[in-house]
Amino acid sequence: MPQALQDKEALAGLCDVAVALLGLLGLIVYAFLTYGVWCANKNAAKAAQDTLRQMESQTRPWVGLDAANHPVRTSQPVIDNDGAARLDCFFNVKNFGNYPAQNTMPICNLVITQSIAPVRKMEKLCASQGLPSFGGAVMFPQGTQSWRWQLVVAKSNMVKDPNSTESTFQAYIVGCIQYRDQFQINRITAFAYRLQPPNSMFGLTFEPTANTRVPKGEWVIWDGLVN
């Protein structure tokens, strides 16, 4: 084959490689620019959502336990003649928002159990309960209100862990505050407290023996959900 023809074919091959490389470079640049646009749109959407959340937080009621004013207080729990646990529960609620809360209705339950599962179940049940179409209190911005509940757990409703041989139980208070904002949107603030010995990280254990008092302890916040 003449040398000139070989050189021409080699040059054509180099041109094909150059075109392919340029095409690949173009695809890389396009992909990079597309990714940049996607990131910019994502950041813009997040910024818009953050702005909406901030606007919402400033234009709605926020009802929760008043942590600065003894949010949860109880009488000393007792076990009565029938082996049921009883106590009086007082909790203070405050509207931290800038708009009135309507149909404010607190719900509170006492859970005596050997495992955490019934506490989680009660939290979900409380948070899923519907609001009444009427009733409840109107709470104005920065307003406070107190409620009292008499809580009873029958001996048959104390939850024993089938995998445990222990005879002791722990006590939890599980509740939620249900209310509506100015747009009639249902809102929920859920909470759970566990009875613990003073200055302890662990739950207070006791045997629910009839005609006895549960040892003195303090109610320490366990969990919470805000909507």
> What is the mean pLDDT for each group of 10 consecutive residues in the chain (227 residues)?
52 59 68 64 55 60 89 92 95 93 90 92 78 78 93 95 92 92 88 92 93 93 60
User: C-alpha angle with apex 76: 70 to 77, nearest 5 degrees?
Assistant: 120
Q: Kindly tell me the burial class for residue 161, based on how many C-beta atoms sit within 10 Å of its own C-beta (0-12, 13-18, 19 or more).
A: middle
Q: CB neighbours (10 Å) of residue 71?
A: 18
What is the CATH architecture assignment of 63-226? Answer: Sandwich (2.60)
- What is the model's pTM? 0.71
What is the full DSSP assignment across 173-225? EEEEEEEE-TT--EEEEEEEEEEE-TT-SSPPPB---TTEEPPP-EEEEEEEE
What pLDDT does residue 55 have? 55
Encoded tokens for 125:
């049940």
What pLDDT does residue 112 have? 96
What pLDDT does residue 226 have? 44
* Residue from 110, 116, 222 nearest 157 by CA: 110
162 phi and psi angles, rounded to 5 deg? -65, -20
What pLDDT does residue 190 have? 87
User: 9: which residues sit within 8 A by CB, 6+ positions away?
Assistant: none
What pLDDT does residue 218 have? 92
